[in-house]
Amino acid sequence: MTETLSNPDAAETQEAKIAAEEAARKTVKVLVWDLDNTLWDGTLLEGDDVKLRAGVEELLEILDRRGILHSVASRNDHDAAWAKLEELGVDHYFLYPQIHWGSKAGSVGKVAETINIGMDTVAFVDDQPFERDEVADTHSEVRCYPPEALAGLADDPDFQPRFITDESAKRREMYQADARRNEAESDYQGASEEFLSGLDMKFVIHPPRDEDLKRAEELTMRTNQLNTTGYTYSFDELDALRDDPDHLLLIAGLEDRYGTYGKIGLALVDKGGEAEGYWTLKLLLMSCRVMSRGVGTILMNHVMRLAKEEGMKLRAEFVSNGRNRMMRVTYRLGGFKEVETDGDRSILEHELVTIQDDPEYVDVRVKGLVKSLSEPINKSPSRV
């Protein structure tokens, strides 16, 4: 196990080292396209009969299957440009397009802000050197390319995620579903909880399958704000942990009437007796994409119920990384109390006398675990 924050001298497997190096390299998450003489040949508003640049449609599809998103930053007439993208049959690839007469640097920044990703995971392609220079000067971490580089992007390591999963291929659809949710929420006139109740959310907890382990590794490498310790685990380490009787590894997914959010949560519990009579939550994390859905405590609550059924108390590690204060607050509001501290690392404890209820508007289901919790648990009498 690679507990990179609290124990930097811990032995790392080669697999974990590779995973950490690739995470540090920051694989591109979104490629932002100029349109005229970049995505297509010709200038639209000059009356050119524009056509997609050779190889562009194939590249859009390849990167999309890898989970790399596409957007647009173009100085153009919005309606005319979007109509052309629809005519060319590629409009569905582009999220949050910025098509107007404003700054390209501003457009690239808006795309990153809307998708909620770091600028160091953004790439930009434009035929004009001064546009690339403006973006690079404003956002120094953005990788900028001329159109001539497009032919080699599919083979560039920066565009090759460590794992390509079924969830990767659905990433664009997840963001598109989220855009529809956000639009519906902004138009909703009632209380926030009433809107959430209408989403028909289903939160599913289960042991990870092989396919899930790839996403689990990705979650440990990428999630910072909603991560209790920042410990990173490779696929091989997670594979060993799920088969270890002294550990409990759980993954969680979420869906609603707009579609799936994918796998959005992970919990790792040490049952091996670090302290007699206790389980220890080594890692609890959630994807930032579900921050506003009120589901952040469900996985924690479930671990608490399992520990109580086993007659155990529960401890939890917390390591501050400067960004994950919300998870410390989650533990505190959930009833954990600090019993030990060493620098940025804390040990918290819960006696499990009282466990908070899950939100009534979420249908929580547990699969493949404790029999008594294998049915919907929102109204389970086993809850305390």
Per-residue pLDDT of the chain (384 residues; tens, 9 = 90+): 554 444 434 444 555 555 555 555 689 999 999 999 999 999 999 999 999 999 999 999 999 999 999 999 999 999 999 999 999 999 999 999 999 999 999 999 999 999 988 899 999 999 999 999 999 999 999 999 999 999 999 999 999 988 888 788 899 999 999 889 989 998 999 998 899 999 999 999 999 998 899 889 988 887 677 899 989 999 999 999 999 999 999 999 999 999 999 999 999 999 976 567 899 999 999 988 787 888 989 999 999 999 999 999 999 999 998 889 999 999 999 999 999 999 999 999 999 999 999 999 999 999 875 433 333 333 333 332
Q: In this structure, what DSSP letter does residue 370 have?
A: -
0.85 cut: is pTM over it?
no
- Same domain, yes or no: 154 and 184: no
Task: Note whether residue 384 is domain-resident.
Answer: no
DSSP string, 286-339: E-GGGGGGT-TTHHHHHHHHHHHHTT-EEEEEEE--SS-HHHHHHHHHTT-EEE
Domain of 86, CATH number, reads 3.40.50.1000
Number of domains into which the chain is organized? 2
- Same domain, yes or no: 190 and 125: no
Nearest one of 152, 81, 102 to 123, comparing CA atoms: 152
Boundary (domain end) residue, out of 109, 133, 159: 159
Task: Note whether residue 382 is domain-resident.
Answer: no
Boundary (domain end) residue, out of 108, 130, 159: 159
Lookup: tokens for 384 = 């305390």
Domain range holding 116?
28-159
- Same domain, yes or no: 77 and 193: no
- Same domain, yes or no: 97 and 194: no
Cα-flanking dihedrals φ and ψ of residue 285, to 5°? -145, 155
| Beta bridge partners of residue 33, listed in sequence order | 72, 125
Task: Note whether residue 379 is domain-resident.
Answer: no
User: Where is 315: in which H helix or E strand?
Assistant: strand 313-319
Q: In this structure, what DSSP letter does residue 42 have?
A: S
- Same domain, yes or no: 94 and 220: no
209-212, long-range: CB within 8 Å, 24+ apart, which pairs?
210/239, 211/165, 211/166, 212/251, 212/263
Domain of 272, CATH number, reads 3.40.630.30
Residue in the block written with tokens 């050779």: 54
Cα distances from 342 to residues 6, 110, 318, 333, 339, in angstroms, run 10, 40, 11, 22, 11
Nearest one of 168, 176, 118 to 143, comparing CA atoms: 118
Nearest one of 297, 286, 292 to 334, comparing CA atoms: 297
